[in-house]
Amino acid sequence: MTIALSARACSALVLGLTASLAALHSRTAYAADAQPAMQAEVLDRIDVVARLPENPKRRAESVSRIDEQSVQRIAPTHANEVFVRIPGAWASRGSGQEQLLALRSPVLTGPGACGAFLVLDDGVPIRPAGFCNVNQLSEVNLAQAAGVEVLRGPGSAVHGSNALHGVVAVRPRSPGDGGGIRAEWGSNTYRRLALGADGGDAQWRIDANAVDAGSFRVDESYRQQQALLQWLPFGSTDTRLALSSHRLRQDTAGFVFGEGAWRDARRSGNQNPEAFREAQSTRVVLHHLRNVGDEGTLLLRPYARRESQTFLQHFNLGQPLEENGSQSAGLQSLWSTGLLRVGIDVEQANGRLQQTQARALTTGTAAQNGTRPQGRHYDYRVRAQQAALFAETQWDWGKHTFTAGARIEQLRYRYDNRMASGNTREDGSACNFGGCLYLRPADRSDRFIGRSAQLGWVRPLEGGWQMNARVARAFRFPQATELYRLQRGQTVSDFAPETLDSIEAGLRYSGAAVSASATAYAMRKRNAILRDANGLAVPQAATRHRGAELEARWVLPNQRWLEGQAAYSIQRYAFSRVLPAGEVVRNGAEIDTAPRWLAGLRAGQGFGDGAEIELESVWQGGYFIDAANTQRYGGHVLWHLRGTLPVGDDWRLGLRLMNLTNRRYAERVDLAFGEVRSFPGAGRSVFLSVERDL
């Protein structure tokens, strides 16, 4: 199947299908009110578990959910504030809206590290399979979400490439959910204005927000705008058109350097005031559900996306400028009847990347200066075509429920190099010290096949208890940046799809006032692509991951609640190698930037008039900052306080005190290019909001 990729053609595809569905809609027998419960369930629930209505208690996957009320209470300014409530998750905060995600994993770095996590917005991956973005969580509107769901561990058969360590799905509010306007002010000149509004007949909805934020660090700030427009063209939820957009303009602050720099006067400095990031993205998605026969349903989701970004690589020697972008279109389809579900996904994308170093490097060693030349390093285009077939079935045997699923997926790349091949300078001349660092392969085509499978088991017990277990294999394809932005000594053949094998077992309880779950897991990853302390890619690696997770919620009398989560994990290298820059990896050593402990606890009190207050504690354990396990960051505990006070019938005041004890801490610490570097955490911050229902 060939899909046109220009912005106009992508839009025409979706809008044309809308018109076709209008004719189809007029011929179908079911109206908007024929099966409202089923249709609302399908379109309003997100697709972390499966793309169809289903009782989540019958699933063996480990899924954590943050509902709309919790999202509103958090009022997140960064993805980190949401993911500290997910067992085993850490969205490491960088500068501004930058982040690196960990989910049953260490914090993974490098341009393709984002390929280990699948991020869905309104059911659709926010990026093509081979063009992920390490800061991709900034592209979804978490602050106005109706819910966030996180599948911890490998995805199910419906997910495919990138659902390796987990799946993140953001569910938007639906037309008819009500509206409001919110203004917010905070420390360091933080300002945010948010609007949510429905049409008078609930046939459309808009959610939009704009942020203008400063920082406690010198020359650090960002401006961000997000919007989502939804339309029900036929007056029912079985067909919905959604258009979302995102724009970020950021003055970036780089790392602070030196041991303990995050705790002293150096924390507010910025050695990279010239760094910046500019990004924008647009997605249009058409959701359509219809009955097929007596028991079957067909879900169709055509979509089109366009994104681009420009940023200075302040974290690399020479600080090259990167300009990248992609245009893509695809179709998700799922047919389900009885206990069987079968689906086909197709996608086509055009991507581009150019990397240019404006000035000669003079601050490194002689070898570093000589191998990172001034001028263009890369300039290429990539066309990608992806197709997948998957099936899943679920059946009961006595009190046991089994789920089995499998997926086969193909990704083809066609790479077009716009420069001279090899590791030369832009003009074709050779670098000293064995050649330039940056290596450009000649034009080529590559094809990868990925296979995933899962088998799940659930057994309900008496008294609200339930046992579950699951074995699964997931994969991720090498990203285009890993294949074609090579470094000397590497070849495209060094890279293969990463695979992860997982086994987990759990115990769950659901009662009138208490709900809880405990899970233990073991995973092994092969053909992993890591990043060493000198910023070089390390292919054909292997890692082991073992851990246990707990989450619980207790609703007490008089509108009180207590909830929390804890995760303990040990994540180790499963290979030994002396890396090209001299760093030594030992089999059994702990992976750097992988805390053993991640935990959080929240206690809240509601009042009869709608007022509430919540105290939150966030605990991050210590971790090694280098692969040799010679240096550590000790971890930290943070306290946050949030409160809401109604004023009249339609008005509310909100107050958030973040880092209540003014703790000096680091968002992340690592050892790179021979130096300890860190992102310092902000001190005590105050946020005040005023909100009115519309």
pLDDT of residue 581: 67
Residue count (the chain): 694
Q: Say how far apart CA 517 and CA 552 lie, in whole Å.
A: 6
Which of 69-83, 316-330, 525-539, 664-678 shows the lowest mean pLDDT across its residues? 525-539
CB proximity list for 15: less than 8 A, separation 6 or greater: none
Quote the CA–CA distance of 16 and 495 in Å, as a whole number.
39
pLDDT band at 412; cut points 50, 70, 90: very high
**pLDDT of residue 49 exceeding 50:** no
Residue bearing tokens 């080529």: 444
Other Cβ atoms closer than 10 A to 447:
10
Element (H, E) at 370: helix 366-371
Confidence of residue 609 (pLDDT cuts 50, 70, 90): confident
Yes or no: say if 313 and 329 are a contact pair by the CB < 8 Å rule. Answer: no
Matching residue, tokens 């191998």: 371
Q: Work out the mean pLDDT of the chain and round it to a whole number.
A: 90
123, two tokens: 């059911």
- Indicate the range of 23-37, 414-428, 560-574, 643-657 predicted with least confidence: 23-37
CATH 2.40.170.20, domain 7-693, yes or no: yes
Residue type at 522 in one-letter notation: A
Cα(420)–Cα(442) distance, integer angstroms? 8
Which residues make beta-bridge pairs with 320? none
Q: Residue 39: which H helix or E strand, with range? A: helix 36-44
Mode of pairing for the β-strands spanning 486-487 and 321-337: unpaired
- List pLDDT tens digits, range 288-345: 999 988 789 999 999 999 999 999 999 889 999 999 999 999 999 999 987 899 999 9
Coil, strand or helix: which one is 357? strand
Contact between 352 and 380 (Cβ < 8 Å)? yes
Is the confidence at residue 227, as pLDDT, over 90?
yes
Q: What pLDDT does 91 receive?
A: 96
Helix (H, G, I), strand (E, B) or coil at 417: strand
Cβ atoms within 10 Å, residue 694: 11
Question: CA 506 to CA 213: how far, in whole Å?
Answer: 42
Q: CB under 8 Å to 620, separation ≥6 — which residues?
A: 90, 595, 597, 598, 635, 636, 637
DSSP 583-651: -EE-TTPBPSS--SEEEEEEEEEE-TTS-EEEEEEEEE--EESSTTS--EE--EEEEEEEEEEEETTTE
* 634-683 residue pLDDT tens: 999 999 999 999 998 899 999 999 999 999 999 999 998 889 999 999 99
Please tell me the distance from the alpha carbon of residue 630 to that of residue 485, in angstroms, as a whole number: 31
Residue 391 scores a pLDDT above 90: yes
372-397 in b/e burial notation, b at 16+ Cβ within 10 A?
bbeebbbbbbbbbbbbbebbbebeee
Task: Give me 223's structure tokens.
Answer: 């401006």
Task: Tell me how far apart the 2 most distant CA atoms of the chain are, in Å.
Answer: 76
Helices (H) and strands (E) counted in the chain, each on its own, are 6, 38
